[in-house]
Amino acid sequence: MSFGESIAPLFGRWVLAWFFLTQAYHHALDWNNTALLLAMKAVPTPPAILLIALIGVVMGSLSLLVGFRTRIGALVLFAITIGATVTLHDYWHLDVEVARDADFDIFARNIAIAGGLLMLVGMGSGKFGFDGAKPADSDSGAAKGH
């Protein structure tokens, strides 16, 4: 595997982690308005859902950042992204064309991000992460089934 193929998953994880951490930070700072938006979209118990989502986003992002349990972290972020996208960016219900187009752009961006997360679910952290580190082979006979 070339160095570029090894380093790309690391940078990809970092970019996704940065994106989700900055989003979590902004939504946490704007707690009341974010909870109001959830209520307007008929989400039950908006503050509780917001708290659970923010905890999931932070934990998933930290997982991607350090490459520990990357597949699980990416799957958590994938589920939150799809749930939030379908719930909050339901552009097909909007009548005003400009608003519908703007919401579709966000919807499409989020679906693309979800696709990147699915790639991490499939491939893991890559070489530069705890998941990709090869454990020391202290008992090679037992590891090989001999």
pLDDT in tens, 23-78: 999 999 999 999 999 999 999 999 999 999 999 999 999 999 999 999 999 999 99
> Residue 67's closest CA among 7, 126, 8?
126
Q: Which residue has the higher pLDDT, 53 or 134?
A: 53
Mean pLDDT of the chain: 91
Cα–Cα distance, 23 to 38 (Å, whole number):
15
Question: Distance from CA of residue 2 to its chain's centroid?
Answer: 26
Dist. CA 43–CA 65, nearest whole Å: 30
Q: Please, is 63 exposed, middle or buried when counting C-beta atoms within 10 Å of its C-beta (0-12, 13-18, 19+)?
A: buried
pLDDT value, residue 133 = 64
Q: Does residue 125 carry a pLDDT above 90?
A: yes
Q: Where are the domains of the chain?
A: 3-132
- Is it the case that residue 145 has pLDDT exceeding 50? no
Contacts with 7 (C-beta within 8 Å, 6 or more apart), sequence order: 128
